[in-house]
A = this chain, B = another copy of it.
Amino acid sequence: MKRIALLLVAVGTLAAVVAGTSSSPSREEADPIATGKPPPGYRDWSFISVTHEEGNLHSFAAVLGNDVAINAFREGKLPFPDGTVIATLHYRHVASEENNKIFGRAQSFVPGPPTNVQFMVKDSTKYASTAGWGFAQFNDGKPLTDRMVLKSCFDCHARNKDRDLIFAHYAP
């Protein structure tokens, strides 16, 4: 009996380890609009693409996605399924004096100070009034609460209706 008890403990422990490795935040926990916080672990999400906006922006960005987003991009699935979360990490687009000195010429641009992190969350029920997408922005970790600015995110993305409001393409 003692051996059986020991084995049961072993099975229990292993089961807990397995459960632990496959745990991921619930959809509610991962929704920055609902929680007022960036989704846990978003900084380690897979890479979708990079962008560089000039005009009056001078911004440099990395676009990352959760597993639902990445699968949809890779499969070319449109519209994006519920549960998709896309993060865009914005920085100033600045010349790198450090690199240029080493290269011996002015050629290198790198991320300068971070400006904001934006999220788009797909939930076709919850965000039905904005084409199924919720919008959030964090400046230095703090959520932007200005509804007019968040509304302007939707207004611009809505112009890209053919691609379910998403500008980024998956970089191979």
Question: Are A49 and B111 in contact (CB-based, < 8 A)?
Answer: yes
Contacts of A110 in B (CB 8 A): 49-52, 169
Q: A7-B8, A46-B44, A62-B47 are in contact. Are A171 and B91 (CB under 8 A)?
A: yes
**A89 in contact with B171 given A43-B47, A102-B160 (CB within 8 Å):** yes
Chain B positions within 8 Å of A49 at CB level: 62, 110-111
Chain B minimum-CB-distance residue to A102: B159
Say which size band chain A's interface belongs to. 35 or more
> Which residue of chain B is the closest to A101 with respect to CB atoms?
B159
Whether B17 pairs with A55 at a CB distance below 8 angstroms is no
Closest Cβ neighbor of A7 among chain B residues: B7
CB-nearest residue of chain B to A171: B111
Contact indicator per residue, chain A 34-75, by CB within 8 Å of chain B (1) or not (0): 000000000111110111111101001110100000100000
* A15 interface hit (Cβ, 8 Å): yes
Closest Cβ–Cβ distance, residue A104 to chain B (whole Å)? 9
Q: Is the pair B109, A53 in contact by a Cβ cutoff of 8 Å?
A: yes
A102: chain B residues within 8 A (beta carbon) = 156, 159-160, 167
**Complex Cα distance A16/B50, Å?**
38
Inter-chain contact B64/A47, CB cutoff 8 Å: yes
Our pick among B3, B10, B50 for the contact of A111 (Cβ within 8 Å) is B50
